[in-house]
Each structure stands twice: as C-alpha cells, then as structure tokens.
Amino acid sequence: MTWKLKPGWTVTRLKGRFLLTVFLQLVWNTFIYIIWKERNLRFFQCKFSQEDSLIHSIKDIVSIRLKGKPVNRASEISSILCIELGFV
C-alpha cells in the first residue's frame, strides 16, 4: 500500500470508532507539536530533551485533552483505551 492510499484506508477503517479516531488524531498532532518544539529547542537554544521526557509530554497532553470527551463504553476498543489511559 502506498502512502497516498494510507489516509483513505485509515478513514474507512476507523469510521464509527469515535474514541479511537480522536485518540489517534490527538497522538499524531501532539507528536508533531512536541517534535516541532524539540527542533526549535535544539536549533535556537542548543538544548536537548530526553526521549522519555518527550514521550511523557505526549502522554500527558493527550490524556488531558481526552478527559472531557464522551466515551462509547460498548466498543471493545474504547473500553481498552479507557482502561489504559486511566479513564475508568
């Protein structure tokens, strides 16, 4: 599968899975934001963050953003995400 087909495939596979879709979008957007911040930190201030710190930042931001979202607990994937993220 080519990269051009991946977005369409992802959209069709995630249709109707609200929490999973929101989760993946948040993780992706947060990842881009954290990497951008790290790039600027390295480029302009010559400072570096540890990998663990970056991952922890991504987890914290995603968790905070998901706290107010409605959850369909009937979905197995949503239930697993809720347990893993500590929403139960």
Q: What is the pLDDT of residue 12?
A: 62
Per-residue pLDDT reduced to its tens digit, 22-81: 788 888 999 999 999 999 999 999 999 999 999 999 988 988 887 776 666 677 777 777
Helix and strand numbers, DSSP H then E, in the chain: 4, 0
Any domain includes 11: no
Radius of gyration of the chain (CA): 16
Q: What is the pLDDT of residue 53?
A: 95
Any domain includes 2: no
Any domain includes 26: yes
pLDDT (average), residues 2-20: 62
Give the span between the Cα atoms of 47 and 54, in whole angstroms.
13
Give the span between the Cα atoms of 10 and 76, in whole angstroms.
19
Phi/psi-derived region of residue 48, left when phi > 0, alpha when psi is between -120 and 50, beta in every other case = beta
Q: Say how many domains are in the chain.
A: 1
* Closest by Cα among 63, 81, 87 to 18: 81
Any domain includes 70: yes
Q: Looking at the predicted structure, is the pLDDT value of residue 84 above 80? A: no
Q: Looking at the predicted structure, is the pLDDT value of residue 7 above 80? A: no
For 47, the domain range is: 19-85
Amino acid of residue 10: T
Q: What is the pLDDT of residue 3?
A: 58
User: Would you place residue 9 in the very low, low, confident or very high pLDDT band (cuts 50, 70, 90)?
Assistant: low
Any domain includes 60: yes
